[in-house]
Amino acid sequence: MNINKIGVVGAGQMGSGIAQVCALAGMDVVLNDISEERVTAALSVIGSGLAKQVERQQIDEAARDAALARIHPGIDYEAFRDCDLVIEAASENEEVKRRIFTKLCASLRPEALLATNTSSISITRLASATDRPERFIGIHFMNPVPRMQLVELIRGIVTENETFEAAKELITRLGKTFTVSEDFPAFIVNRILLPMINEAIYTLYEGVGSVEAIDTAMRLGANHPMGPLQLADFIGLDTVLSVMQVLHEGLADTKYRPCPLLVKYVEAGWLGRKTQRGFYDYRSGTPIPTR
Ligand SMILES: NC(=O)c1ccc[n+]([C@@H]2O[C@H](COP(=O)([O-])OP(=O)(O)OC[C@H]3O[C@@H](n4cnc5c(N)ncnc54)[C@H](O)[C@@H]3O)[C@@H](O)[C@H]2O)c1
């Protein structure tokens, strides 16, 4: 199946990144979110992202202009009517995603493919909220999408081979590399990465080290490019908590229990970079540890 037009539902950090890379690869993109303001904000983020790529001489100005012209806001699901594939990248909440699929399917061509960028939720379970589980697949991009090379592909129990092949072709066309994961909670990358981040939060919670000590220790002691708390802020603490909850419930093992301090930060609305406060306070322009 030729994928020439893509829909993206959810224009946050992942949805805007996905729209950016697909448009740069020559596909038309319809970008959706819960309000026009959010889509407008995403278009401005994409504009800045493309400008940075021009600065770094990764693309020229003509490519930037062409990519921007290929992205169209689509507040109404009717805008997805002629899409070959729609990728859902809304908040990491199963109910939100199920509601989107139930409503969205009515506006899609019967042969259109549907994918989710979920970090952790069962692909088989999400597929059951659609009218096309055979044409449903997990396409898990990494953050930030334009910079990260890997994409995880996850088949649900009824995903057809044709759908899997189309997803593989798409990833290759985007110049990225895929790995295949079975449909288990949080797949491969987050099954390993998120418990490490959660453990870093426990280390902070128990007073073993400060935010700065923990991040410095892992950057210089384990050669990680970012400290785990800095990374948690980058991912979004709401997403980190949701993934830990999916692991905890899905694998029924107390080793995945979300740290109470993480829960508290999310309850306070401290979600990391996207709200300007998390394990660091970003409001002054220089990140200041909050503990
Ligand atoms: N943040 C990461 O590092 C990362 C990495 C890989 C995958 N993901 C996954 O990608 C998805 C999005 O994460 P994000 O980091 O972009 O989150 P985000 O909070 O930056 O963006 C989520 C967007 O979804 C929108 N949204 C919520 N309900 C919606 C609805 N009903 N219809 C349309 N839009 C809706 C929100 O308004 C928001 O703009 C999640 O499933 C997350 O687990 C995140």
**Tens-place pLDDT, residues 49-93:** 999 999 999 999 999 999 999 999 999 999 999 999 999 999 999
Q: How far is the CA of 86 from the centre of ligand 1 (A)?
A: 14
- Residue 168 labeled ligand binder: no
How distant, in Å, are the alpha carbons of 9, 100, 112 from that of 34? 9, 11, 22
Q: How far is the CA of 33 from the centre of ligand 1 (A)?
A: 10
Number of the ligand 1 atom closest to the C-alpha atom of 90: 24
pLDDT, position 223: 98
Give CA–CA dist 269/276, Å, rounded. 10
Question: If one looks up domain 5-182 in CATH, what number appears?
Answer: 3.40.50.720
> How many of the other CB atoms lie within 10 Å of CB of 45?
16
**Which of 239, 241, 271 to probe ligand 1 with, by most ligand atoms within 8 A of CB?**
239
Q: How far is the CA of 208 from the centre of ligand 1 (A)?
A: 32
Please, where in the chain does CATH 1.10.1040.10 lie? 189-289
- Residue 119 labeled ligand binder: yes
Percentage, residues of the chain above pLDDT 90: 99
- Ligand 1: residues with CB < 6 A are 9-15, 32-34, 38, 89-92, 96, 100, 117-119, 140-143, 235-236, 239, 274
| Angle (nearest 5°) at CA 234 between 123 and 115 | 20
The two three-digit tokens of residue 276, written as one number: 């300007």
- Compute the average pLDDT of residues 160-187: 98
Residue closest via CA to ligand 1's atom 8 equals: 119
Please, where in the chain does CATH 3.40.50.720 lie? 5-182
The edge-to-edge listing of strands for the beta sheet with 177-181 is: 71-73, 28-32, 5-9, 85-88, 113-116, 136-141, 150-155, 177-181
Give CA–CA dist 51/280, Å, rounded. 27
pLDDT, position 61: 97
Number of the ligand 1 atom closest to the C-alpha atom of 271: 19
Longest CA pairwise span in the chain (Å): 55
- Catalytic site residues? 119, 140, 152, 190
Residue 27's Cβ-count burial label (10 Å; 0-12, 13-18, 19+) is: buried
Q: How far is the CA of 16 from the centre of ligand 1 (A)?
A: 10
Provide the whole-model pTM. Answer: 0.96
- Residue 11 labeled ligand binder: yes
- The phi and psi torsions of 9 (rounded to 5 degrees) equal -105, 120
- Of all helices (H) and strands (E), which one includes residue 9? strand 5-9
Q: Which residue has the tokens 């990833």?
A: 171
pLDDT, position 1: 75
Question: If one looks up domain 189-289 in CATH, what number appears?
Answer: 1.10.1040.10
How distant, in Å, are the alpha carbons of 5, 25, 82, 91 from that of 28? 5, 9, 11, 23
> How many of the other CB atoms lie within 10 Å of CB of 199?
14
- Compute the average pLDDT of residues 165-189: 98
DSSP 22: H
pLDDT, position 2: 86
